[in-house]
Amino acid sequence: MGKQKISSKGAQNSCCTIATLWWFYLVAACIKVLLFPSYRSTDFEVHRNWLAVTHSLPLSQWYFDETSPWTLDYPPFFAHFEHFLSMFAHFIDPKIVHLQEGLNYSANTVVYFQRGTVILSDLCLLYGVYRLTRNLDSRKQKLIWLLTIWSPMLFIVDHVHFQYNGFLIGILLISLSYLEEGRDLLGGFFFAVLLCFKHLFAVAAPVYFVYLLRHYCRGGIGRGFTRLLIMGGMVAAVFAVAFGPFFHLGQIQQVIRRLFPFGRGLCHAYWAPNFWVFYIMSDKGLAFILRRLGFNIQTPTATFTAGLVGDSSPFSVLPQVAPLVTFMMVLLALSPCLLKAWKDPQPQMITRWVAYAYTCGFLFGWHVHEKASLHFVIPLAIVAVQTLEDAKHYFLLSIVSCYSLFPLLFEAQEYPIKVLLLLLHSILMWSAFSAQFPDGAETARAPTSHHYTEKKVDRHESKGGFVIGWIERLYLVGLVTVEIWGQFLHPLVLGDKLAFAPLMLISIYCAFVIMYSWILQLTSIVKSL
């Protein structure tokens, strides 16, 4: 009788949890619908063209078609995803998927359809978040849901600018949830699937490889080798399903060329806030000083300050940077994490390690998109509830990362939207963290079998609850100053002169916090070795 009561109570709690999660999703969906008429980037036409390519052409021509400049450059699973959506698009409005007549098509039907598909695809994110939080207490669950499902970065990038990051990050979170439960085979499977949707997530592949090799392929030579074969065979099967048809057609080289266009240059847009911003500005500073001293320093024909995607990475003084250099820098930055995963592969640490990997890729990678900060900000939201220091770190990082996306929405009518999204996020995050850490007490997850128990850790120095330091407060004041200068004072004082300077200032200023976040994560890993 007692067991039946406990079981009934557990079922009621589960239903209540799911209902609350749906409430978070539906509130977000209502806001996203209101954003339908807002600005759309060229990515909107990119994905519309991919609908047309995959619907109108046979698979053998998907990666060769050049009807539009926005050619297909995502892996095959995402192409099939677009093909699946195109079936519904053709039913709603055949012009959406017409290869010629659909170019730059902007009727309400295509706007509502494509924006609607992003909202529906966010169900993948919803499921991933649910799986990662279902064993946590109610307060932590709701805090994580607030940080992920209501993320202003996802609103800006996916539902205004236009992309499908929520869908893809959802697959990542599903993978991480299985790894945290100790179900490594399923975790590896979903990560392999993710790579066949978007290859840029491969930055975390070394962490996955080392962790699974040590955690899943353990138990002696015989058992370990058998498990290695099982894991390797499963991953190979996923890639065979995705890329096999193109091997059969003899088109794999063309697919690889589309997926890895190294000719695009070091920076997608020079103001992406990573390490290369400092490198670029150092080069420009040195060139200016040397010219003043009388040295003949040639000005590159291409320029970063135009904010354009070029075919080279022009530097006047410092050495040119090749893709191999960035690859080695990412691998070097990852090495302490890989060593830790090798020595002590703990399931409860995998989300931190994967977030660190994506931070390394963002800071040191080749042709990094500013939107790639989502790859580490969303996973870090999962661990932000564990300790007070994690919460403080995430509070600053999420605000700065969101602000770094402001240049994506450059039209005047979207300005109130991005400002209100960030302000609301900051207020809700502050309130939620203050409720989670009212007196400076911290909670951490400790592993017990494949589940987690929570233990309270009291730290005398943390008394006072959720309060950020004076340096962080000064930095945030500086962030407001940067925005006031770029948005209001620069046009008044300088007019059209140095038009790209405000973006440069945003990039440099935000890059300091991204570097700071990386150093914090790296320090934590090194101390645990």
> Which region, left, alpha or beta, applies to residue 104 given φ > 0 means left and ψ of -120 to 50 means alpha?
left
Beta bridge partners of 446: 453
Higher pLDDT, 316 or 265: 316
CB atoms within 10 A of CB 199: 17
349 CB-near residues (< 8 Å, 6+ apart): 340
Mean pLDDT of 269-296: 86
Note the pLDDT of residue 15.
Answer: 81
Mean pLDDT of 196-213: 97
* Per-residue pLDDT reduced to its tens digit, 320-343: 888 999 999 999 999 999 999 999
Confidence of residue 300 (pLDDT cuts 50, 70, 90): low
Q: What percent of the chain has pLDDT over 90?
A: 75
Q: What percent of the chain has pLDDT over 70?
A: 89
* Per-residue pLDDT reduced to its tens digit, 66-106: 999 999 999 999 999 999 999 999 999 999 999 999 999 99
Note the pLDDT of residue 308.
Answer: 41
Note the pLDDT of residue 403.
Answer: 97
Q: In angstroms, rounded to a whole number, what is the distance separating the alpha carbons of residues 341 and 69?
A: 42
Q: In angstroms, rounded to a whole number, what is the distance separating the alpha carbons of residues 467 and 503?
A: 30
Mean pLDDT of 21-47: 96
User: What share of residues in the chain are helix, strand, coil (percent, to 5)?
Assistant: 70, 5, 25
Distance of CA 409 to the CA centre of its chain: 18
The radius of gyration of the chain's CA atoms, rounded to the nearest angstrom, is 24
Name residue 327's amino acid.
F
Three-state DSSP class for 98? Answer: coil
Confidence of residue 26 (pLDDT cuts 50, 70, 90): very high
Confidence of residue 428 (pLDDT cuts 50, 70, 90): very high
Mean pLDDT of 467-472: 92
- What is each CA distance from 407 to 156, 371, 424, in whole angstroms? 11, 11, 19
Note the pLDDT of residue 196.
Answer: 98
* CB 287, CB 317: distance < 8 Å: yes
Mean pLDDT of 8-22: 77
- Core vs surface per residue 254-292: b (16+ CB within 10 A) or e: ebeebbeeeeebbbbbbbbbbbbbebbbebbebbeeeee
pTM summary value: 0.92
* CB 176, CB 132: distance < 8 Å: yes
Note the pLDDT of residue 11.
Answer: 61
- In 3D space, the residue among 273, 268, 275, 276 whose CA is nearest the CA of residue 369 turns out to be 268
Note the pLDDT of residue 441.
Answer: 54
Range from 9-13, 142-146, 261-265, 360-364 carrying the lowest mean pLDDT:
9-13
Q: Which tokens in the block code for residue 104?
A: 């730059």
Note the pLDDT of residue 107.
Answer: 94
- In 3D space, the residue among 262, 358, 273, 359 whose CA is nearest the CA of residue 313 turns out to be 262
Name residue 163's amino acid.
Q
Q: In angstroms, rounded to a whole number, what is the distance separating the alpha carbons of residues 51 and 507?
A: 33
CB atoms within 10 A of CB 391: 23
Note the pLDDT of residue 128.
Answer: 98
What DSSP state is assigned to residue 105? -
Q: In angstroms, rounded to a whole number, what is the distance separating the alpha carbons of residues 195 and 189?
A: 10
Q: Which tokens in the block code for residue 18?
A: 């799911």
* CB 495, CB 514: distance < 8 Å: no
pLDDT at 464 over 80: no
Note the pLDDT of residue 305.
Answer: 42
Note the pLDDT of residue 268.
Answer: 66
* CB 440, CB 409: distance < 8 Å: no
Q: In angstroms, rounded to a whole number, what is the distance separating the alpha carbons of residues 48 and 67?
A: 13
Q: Which tokens in the block code for residue 353?
A: 């390690």
Q: In angstroms, rounded to a whole number, what is the distance separating the alpha carbons of residues 74 and 209?
A: 23
Range from 164-173, 335-344, 362-371 carrying the lowest mean pLDDT:
362-371
405 CB-near residues (< 8 Å, 6+ apart): 153, 156, 157, 370, 371, 373, 418
Q: In angstroms, rounded to a whole number, what is the distance separating the alpha carbons of residues 94 and 59?
A: 19
Note the pLDDT of residue 524.
Answer: 95
Mean pLDDT of 245-263: 92
* CB 160, CB 39: distance < 8 Å: yes
Confidence of residue 191 (pLDDT cuts 50, 70, 90): very high
* CB 272, CB 514: distance < 8 Å: no
Range from 219-223, 279-283, 460-464 carrying the lowest mean pLDDT:
460-464
Three-state DSSP class for 206? Answer: helix
Q: In angstroms, rounded to a whole number, what is the distance separating the alpha carbons of residues 243 and 252?
A: 7
Higher pLDDT, 421 or 503: 421
Q: In angstroms, rounded to a whole number, what is the distance separating the alpha carbons of residues 145 and 23?
A: 10
Note the pLDDT of residue 114.
Answer: 98
Confidence of residue 270 (pLDDT cuts 50, 70, 90): low
* Per-residue pLDDT reduced to its tens digit, 506-524: 999 999 999 999 999 999 9
Mean pLDDT for the chain overall: 90
Note the pLDDT of residue 187.
Answer: 98
Look up tokens 């409720």; give the residue: 435
Higher pLDDT, 453 or 528: 528
- What is each CA distance from 449 to 179, 188, 348, 353, 457, in whole angstroms? 13, 19, 11, 20, 21
Q: Which tokens in the block code for residue 60?
A: 């053998």
